[in-house]
Amino acid sequence: MEPSLSIPLRLYREGSASFYSTDLEHLRKMGLSYTKAPVFYNPRMKLNRDVTVSVVRSIGAESAADLMAASGVRPLRLALEAGVNEVAANDSNCLAVHVIRMNARLNGVRMRITCSDARLEAERMASEGIRVRYLDLDPFGSPAPFLDSFLRAVKRGGLIGVTATDTPPLFGIYPEKLFRYYGVVGRKIPPHKEFGIRALISFAARIAARLDLVIRPVLSYGREHYVRVFLSVDRGPSISNRVLRESLGWVEVCDDGYKFHTGVEIPRAECGELMGPIWLDQITDLTFLNSVNPLNAEVESLISAIASEVGGPPLYIRLDDICSRLRVRMPKIREVISSLREKGYFASRTHLEPLGIKTNASRAEVEEVVRNLTAS
Ligand SMILES: C[S@@+](CC[C@H](N)C(=O)[O-])C[C@H]1O[C@@H](n2cnc3c(N)ncnc32)[C@H](O)[C@@H]1O
């Protein structure tokens, strides 16, 4: 059943913004999912927007745009809570754009509001030289078709925040689509969530390189049904060459653990299946992270979880995977982490997976720790 335009709007409040969007309760009573809303709004993505506000506030951006703005809640919040002076909102759904205009008036926020395809709008911004310091990319599903035009619309020295909800391909559940959309060879492995984030960043780095741009991830995380990366964007063909050489690479999935090969060329396999090219360098910059002033306790707890993982190897291992190989009961994850630290290894939990451990200990060393803990 097609949603009808007679679905009423409702007034919502999120952060400092009051705004109208589709009445989700009414939609639910009609048996329709929120994805069918004539004007899209997903309250479950509030944390995503809270993190965005925290990040944009920290960089002191004077200009920002959401070219897939739906109700306009994100650009409104950037204006009201992150103090951005020049805000632009666009959507290809002109009904949504009508609602954005209403919402901008309601909040007394001046915004550039357009109804266009996001790629055309980004290209237009770039060609007219009105690039923004912060650009948000928040599509339905994959950001891959939009990155090229969006990167052109970011000011050099600016940031792009990318959300991807097409996690099945990124996580290697659909390997063909992972290759088709992101140019990455892979299939689902136990640390699939971090693999997916690294596949997305690798894709962005290669798209940026075609434009003589260089991206660097400053903050990356995964939550519920999506992954999110904030990338700094700069000019520099020569830096871009170096980044591709030093930050991209391949993971070899071997029986005794993951081996990492830096560089874009396909390496010679030594012990297992090769997957890549993925981003092997840090996916979060600790200095940047420390500069972010969290908007609320939930953002603070996410940021501190991410901070504890920085410095670990590119992929976590999973305690359930280790224990099922060893056929032993599962010890407490914090005991495994303390034992590894006592032995002098880097060890931390990961916000991506309750049973994930980031450690530079080899699989054999982790297995020994697990055996000792389960024998006692
Ligand atoms: C996931 S929603 C964005 C949500 C919004 N950023 C927020 O934080 O609430 C995706 C939006 O993109 C719009 N959209 C989809 N394809 C588009 C395109 N090619 N150009 C512009 N907007 C598009 C949809 O109409 C929808 O409003």
Q: CATH assignment of 40-289? A: 3.40.50.150
Pair of tokens at residue 267? 């390496």
Q: Express as a percent the part of the chain with pLDDT over 90.
A: 94
Query: With bands split at pLDDT 50, 70 and 90, how would you rate the model's confidence at 3?
Result: very low
Whether 40-289 shares its CATH topology with 316-375 is answered: no
Q: Using alpha carbons, list the distances in angstroms from residue 255 to 164, 327, 343, 362.
A: 31, 16, 23, 11
Give me the residue label for tokens 């237009």: 124
Mean pLDDT for the chain overall? 96
The domain at 316-375 falls in which architecture? Answer: 2-Layer Sandwich (3.30)
pLDDT, mean of residues 26-32: 91
Predicted TM-score (pTM) of this structure: 0.97
For the chain, the domains span 40-289, 316-375
Ligand 1: centre distance to CA 70 (Å): 5
Tens digits of residue pLDDT in 224-247: 999 999 999 999 888 888 889 999
Identify the CA nearest to 162 among candidates 178, 186, 179, 143: 143
Tens digits of residue pLDDT in 242-296: 889 999 999 999 999 999 999 999 999 999 999 999 999 999 999 999 999 999 9
Within its chain, how far is the Cα of 87 from the centroid? 22
- pLDDT, residue 240, reads 85
Contact 322, 366 (CB under 8 A): yes
Atom of ligand 1 nearest to the CA of 73: 9
Ligand 1: centre distance to CA 297 (Å): 28
DSSP letters spanning 66-122: ESS-TTSHHHHHHHHHS--SEEEEEES-HHHHHHHHHHHHHHT--EEEEES-HHHHH
Does residue 2 surpass a pLDDT of 70?
no
Residue nearest to atom 10 of ligand 1 (CA): 139
- pLDDT, residue 35, reads 87
| Ligand 1 pocket mutation, candidates 68, 77, 81, 95, criterion most atoms within 8 A of CB | 68
- pLDDT, residue 4, reads 46
